[in-house]
A and B are shown apart, each in its own frame.
Chain A
Amino acid sequence: MSLNLKIFQDRVITLSLTIAVLIIVSSLIWPQQFFSLENLSLVLLNLSIDAIVAVGMMILLISGSFDLSVGSVVAFAGGFAAYLMYYWGVYMPVAILASLGVCMIFGFVNGWLVARLGINPLIQTLAMMGIIRGLALMVSGSGIQNLPEGFNQLGQAKILSFQMPVWYMIFIVGIFSFLVARTIFFRRYYYIGGNEKAAVLSGIRVERMKIFSFVLMSFLAGLAGIILAARLGAAMSTTGQGMELRVITAVILGGASLQGGQGKIIGALLGTLFMGIIGNIMILARVSGYWQQIIFGIILIVAVAIDILLQRRADRDAIVVLKTKA
């Protein structure tokens, strides 16, 4: 009994199974529309931006923190790079690097104020969300179009019938899955999320690690924003609105906990994939957009509730095992 439950405790497994079931059922219902390469490539393209942001968010949640300013950073990054290229004629790679650099400064401000000064991440990143959105409006105003063709190609070129953002997503998820699972540096975030005081006393430089995680988050959000602008061929100041909550939902569905200490990078991808597929199914089933929000909300509550119940059960089993052993 306890063994059975243990498998279902692993969110990566339960979510993979759920996604598999969803794919099989939808393929049976809409064999032509759902089960096609075009649809798959479209679903993946639509979730690629969220998934890249979700990687950074997963690392933050593992360390027991989160960032609400990501949606604004996405809008700013695309807008600022576009501004530099369009109005100042800056060479594309330089514009991209400059924009990423500014995004990392935003991340540093978040991280420094949260880690050093002790401002609650909710308040800090909520404030930054507004500030950066304002800056995004300043740089891209009502939108910047006619970007260099080379820039647009970064987001629109296709390899093996998938657009570039899908490949970027796969690359970033792959790299960070490896880093977080295998490097001592990234494993420290589990300790920090598990018990921050104990982490300090174990010789982990918690403040520095936290600042780095916010810088990394803003870097990935900036990258996502630039990719999005390239894909759309335009920078708009309204992009990324509501993204923070969507991404946090996906990451929690993917196995993170707001208390910290839990989660895997692959879970961030699976969470966004799950939400992407549900969204796709609802479009195919002609469910109104309002229902999407409602259904995502319900799914989140149900997933977390199941988690709590399974956890209680597992703890009870573990205690029984110990007592019989002793």
Chain B
Amino acid sequence: MGAGRSEVAQAIFGVTQKEKGGLKLGSREVQIKRATDAIKEGIGYLPENRKEQGLFLEMSVAENILSVKANNDHKTIFVDYRKNNSITNEFIDKLEIKTPSGETKVINLSGGNQQKIVLAKWLTVNPQILIVDEPTAGIDVGTKSEIYRLLNELTEAGTSIILISSDLQELLSICDRILVFCNGRITATLPREQFSEEEIMHYSAGIKDMYK
């Protein structure tokens, strides 16, 4: 918290402007000035606070699921309701979202199902890189494991996932590599072999060479 993780994510995604520095995707320098550019480059961002930043609570499940795909498809002019319907149903099934129908307002669903909807809206555009910010905060255990399963499926399908989390157990169990932030700086890059709670706590507290 307050280490600058979300800020870095939002700078990558183009919603806050970076003061300096550039962004490379593979070996290619990319210019991202706003969210549309990031989406065009295949980057998705699942914000930390789903109710404030992720969802359109008073709108339907379908409109939420389609909010990224429809609004970033600059070639289409008219809304194709039939196609939208089939996309919505596809993702309701795929993510096992518990909702009476695609027309239900999102505000009436449980936190876990809401989080699945935020995930679904990014899955509709097949991002190459998906930044997920505290995806399991305030979610019941059952849905938590479902979200882990979905994230795993995504990586197997070739999506790179950047998980931002303060849940150490979560990080240790699902990550391949951990970057530790402290006061807005990356203080350590740990490959899987070096994972340990002590190590991470050590770097996140910003204390250098405490043990060494």
Contact = CB atoms under 8 A, between A and B. Distances in A.
A190 B73 contact: no
Interface string B46-68: 01000011111111000100011
A117 interface: no
A200 B35 contact: yes
Contact of A191 (B59, B107, B110): B59
A197 interface: yes
Contact of A194 (B34, B53, B58, B110): B58
Contacts of A204: 35-36, 71
A157 B90 CA distance: 54
B65 to A, nearest CB: 11
Interface stretch (A140-148, A302-310, A314-322): A314-322
Interface stretch (A17-25, A86-94, A177-185): A177-185
Contact of B98 (A191, A198, A203, A326): A326
A191 to B, nearest CB: 6
Interface of B: 13, 15, 34-36, 38-39, 45, 47, 52-59, 63, 67-68, 70-73, 76-79, 98, 100, 104-105, 107-110, 121
A203 B68 contact: yes
B54 to A, nearest CB: 6
Contacts of A199: 56, 67
18 contacts: A182-B78, A182-B79, A183-B79, A184-B71, A184-B76, A191-B63, A198-B67, A199-B67, A201-B13, A201-B54, A202-B72, A203-B71, A261-B59, A318-B104, A318-B105, A321-B100, A322-B108, A325-B100
Among B47, B58, B77, B78, residue most surrounded by chain A Cβ atoms (within 10 Å): B58
Given A195-B56, A319-B108, A326-B98, A202 B78 contact: no
A205 interface: yes
Contacts of B54: 198, 201
B79 A202 contact: no
A262 B63 CA distance: 13
A266 B34 CA distance: 34
A25 B59 CA distance: 37
A322 B39 contact: no
Interface residues of A, number: 29
B77 A197 contact: no
Contacts of A262: 58
Interface of A is mostly: helix
Contacts of B76: 184
Interface of A: 181-185, 187-188, 190-191, 194-195, 197-205, 261-262, 315, 318-319, 321-322, 325-326
A184 B108 contact: no
Contacts of A325: 98, 100
A77 B56 CA distance: 38
- 4 smallest CB-CB distances across A and B, nearest first, come from A194-B56, A318-B108, A203-B36, A203-B35
B108 A315 contact: yes
A322 B113 CA distance: 12
Nearest to B53: A197
A181 B79 CA distance: 8
A184 B56 contact: no
Contacts of B45: 201
B121 A201 contact: no
Contacts of B72: 202-203
B56 A261 contact: yes
Nearest to B39: A203
A256 to B, nearest CB: 13
